[in-house]
Amino acid sequence: MTKKGEKYKCEDCGIIVVVEDPCGCSACDIICCGEPMKKVETKKK
């Protein structure tokens, strides 16, 4: 399940998206360039 503020990056074109309004689905694949985007791990301060 996605959470507000999570970031996803396309490995092909490099675009990054930030989740603003999570859908609440148990499986949520964000697709870009025909492939699922990879979650970007953020470092805690």
The domains of the chain are located at: 7-40
| Per-residue pLDDT tens over the stretch 17-29 | 999 998 888 888 8
pLDDT the model gives residue 33: 98
Q: Based on the number of CB atoms within 10 Å of its own CB, is 14 exposed (0-12), middle (13-18) or buried (19 or more)?
A: exposed
**pLDDT exceeds 90 at position 8:** yes
Give the whole-angstrom CA distance, residue 42 versus residue 12.
20
pLDDT the model gives residue 24: 83
Residue 17 region by backbone torsions, left for phi larger than 0, else alpha for psi between -120 and 50, else beta: beta
Q: What pTM does this model have?
A: 0.79
Token pair recorded at residue 34 = 């025909």
Token pair recorded at residue 31 = 């697709």
